[in-house]
Amino acid sequence: MHWRTGGGVLEGVGDIAPEDEDPQGGDGPMSAGELVRGNNGGILPNALEAANAFALSDFLLNPMRTLHFVPKRLNEKYSTVFGRVVEELPTAAESAEPGRTKRIGTALRWYVGIPQLFLRKPRRSGGAHVVKAIELRLTSCSEASTLNSSAGG
């Protein structure tokens, strides 16, 4: 089976996608997941699924000021987190497991949200303070559950 797209055909991808899914992604989770906050008294959980509490469009519209570079001493931490995020998107798309669409939505939110999630400037500016804030975000993410283990449900 092949999926037709506006730009051509995706070979092999349709072989693993459930038949009830839209190959163009129209059934993807664009809306915010109401249960993400509702199951936790309105507080975001300390898990990667927290991104699902926001509509995907919220990640596409970035009102925050962000750095245009990664501070040199944080290159390794950023590379680790960035690698996890980038690796999960094709893995989620190729998955044939239940919860695939939700997993794609979660991975896409993290991918699109990298600048505002990790590189946003804190209100209090200053070289050392900015680097410390970014380091705390990267450390928090690297200690959280992996995208792979959170995606299935």
Model confidence over 100-143: pLDDT tens digits? 888 888 899 999 999 888 998 887 767 788 899 999 999 988 77
Domain count, the chain: 1
Helix (H, G, I), strand (E, B) or coil at 134: helix
Residue ranges in the chain whose pLDDT is less than 70: 1-28, 35, 37-40, 125, 144-153
The residues, ordered by sequence, that sit 6+ positions from 61 with a Cβ below 8 Å of its Cβ are none
Cβ neighbour number for residue 73 with a 10 Å cutoff: 9
Give residue 119's identity as a one-letter amino acid code: L
Answer yes or no: is 4 within a domain.
Answer: no
Which structural domain, as residue segments, surrounds residue 140? Answer: 28-151
pTM reported for the whole predicted model: 0.70
Neighbours of 22 (CB within 10 A): 11
Does residue 12 lie within any of the structural domains?
Answer: no
Q: What was the pLDDT predicted at 149? A: 43
Q: Give domain status of residue 61, yes or no.
A: yes
Residue 19's pLDDT is 57
Q: At what angle do helices 75-94 and 100-112 cross, to 10 degrees?
A: 150
Q: Is residue 23 in a domain?
A: no
